[in-house]
């Protein structure tokens, strides 16, 4: 059930109108309700990372866990960088691990550091869907960061038949947001056992605005 971009634009325009008047820049959100899906069996297969064609409309906080040349190249991109020693120290205090998880949207780790990351941070990052994406020391870290800057993670909420994700901010054009809307819907549908037949509803709204039903 692919959405025409023009139809998505109409829903977004209405959602923006219903969310006007706030003194801060709101995000534009999509909320899906699912039906006839066994989340205990299939939940981890639903959704995933979606690269938004128009980007997220605001900065994304990324942490690269690496050493040597990869760490140096990562620092050049302006993201946060943590060493093996940093992770070992943070991992000794669960409070610091939770603070780290709250601070960053995405984590990337040098492949040979993944066992350490799993041991020290996994119990906190795993349930939050923030386990690092492994990359080899020779990876083009700039390209990885650029991709993540436009990425959202789309997952059901803790075995509940609900998916909530941002598709941008209200400062973005309706057309830009509509392209992101269509990309997320297509991605979610492609991972559902029966495609659009497993969608109960799709709602678009701003952070503090009233919901507009698109399905």
**Strands 160-169 vs 27-34: parallel, antiparallel or unpaired:** antiparallel
Residues 125 and 200 in one domain: no
- Residue 4 pLDDT: 63
Residue span of the structural domain in which 89 resides:
62-148
Taking the alpha carbons at both ends of the chain, their separation in whole angstroms is 10
Q: DSSP readout, 51-104? A: E-TT--SS---EEEE--HHHHHHHHHTT-EEE-HHHHHHHTT-HHHHHHHHHH-
Of 148, 2, 173, nearest to 61 by C-alpha is: 148
Q: Which of 126, 148, 170 is the last residue of a domain?
A: 148
pLDDT in tens, the chain (215 residues): 555 667 889 999 999 999 988 889 999 999 999 999 888 887 778 888 999 999 999 999 999 999 999 999 999 999 999 999 999 999 999 999 999 999 999 999 999 999 999 999 999 999 888 999 999 999 999 999 999 999 999 988 777 899 999 999 999 999 999 999 999 999 999 999 999 999 999 999 999 999 999 98
- Residue 157 pLDDT: 78
Residues 208 and 141 in one domain: no
Work out whether the CA dihedral 69, 72, 76, 79 comes out positive or negative. Answer: positive
Of 125, 61, 113, nearest to 85 by C-alpha is: 113
Residues 79 and 130 in one domain: yes
Residues 41 and 12 in one domain: yes
- Residue 158 pLDDT: 74
Residues 175 and 192 in one domain: yes
Q: What φ, ψ does residue 179 adopt, rounded to 5°?
A: -65, -40
List the structure tokens of 81. Answer: 């960088």
Residues 125 and 172 in one domain: no
List the structure tokens of 46. Answer: 């639903």
Residues 83 and 29 in one domain: no
Number of domains in the chain: 2
- Residue 2 pLDDT: 56
Task: Specify the pTM.
Answer: 0.88
- Residue 160 pLDDT: 87
**Strands 27-34 vs 199-206: parallel, antiparallel or unpaired:** antiparallel
- Residue 127 pLDDT: 87
Task: Please give the Cα distance from 156 to 160 (Å, whole number).
Answer: 6
Looking at residue 44, which CATH number applies to its domain? 3.30.190.20
- Residue 72 pLDDT: 97
Q: Which of 103, 125, 148 is the last residue of a domain?
A: 148
CA 142 centroid distance within chain: 19
- Residue 39 pLDDT: 85
Residues 122 and 82 in one domain: yes
List the structure tokens of 162. Answer: 């609900």
Residues 112 and 139 in one domain: yes
Residues 130 and 156 in one domain: no
Q: Which of 148, 175, 197 is the last residue of a domain?
A: 148
Looking at residue 128, which CATH number applies to its domain? 3.40.50.790
């Amino acid at each position: 059930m692919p959405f025409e971009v023009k139809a998505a634009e109409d829903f977004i325009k209405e959602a923006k109108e219903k969310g006007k008047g706030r003194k801060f820049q709101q995000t534009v959100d999509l909320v899906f309700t699912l039906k006839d899906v066994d989340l205990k069996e299939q939940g981890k297969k639903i959704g995933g990372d979606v690269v938004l064609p128009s980007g997220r409309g605001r900065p994304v906080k990324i942490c690269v866990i690496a050493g040597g040349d990869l760490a140096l190249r990562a620092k050049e991109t302006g993201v946060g960088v943590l060493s093996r020693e940093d992770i070992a120290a943070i991992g000794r205090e669960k409070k610091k691990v939770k603070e780290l998880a709250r601070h960053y949207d995405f984590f990337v780790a040098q492949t040979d550091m993944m066992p350490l990351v799993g041991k020290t941070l996994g119990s906190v990052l795993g349930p939050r869907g923030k386990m690092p994406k492994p990359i080899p020391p020779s990876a083009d870290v700039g390209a990885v960061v650029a991709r993540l800057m436009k990425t959202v993670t789309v997952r059901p909420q803790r075995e509940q038949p609900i998916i909530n994700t941002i598709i941008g901010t209200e400062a973005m054009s309706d057309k830009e947001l509509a392209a992101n809307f269509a990309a997320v819907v297509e991605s979610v549908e492609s991972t559902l056992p029966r495609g659009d037949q497993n969608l109960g509803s799709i709602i678009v709204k701003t952070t503090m605005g009233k919901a507009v039903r698109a399905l």
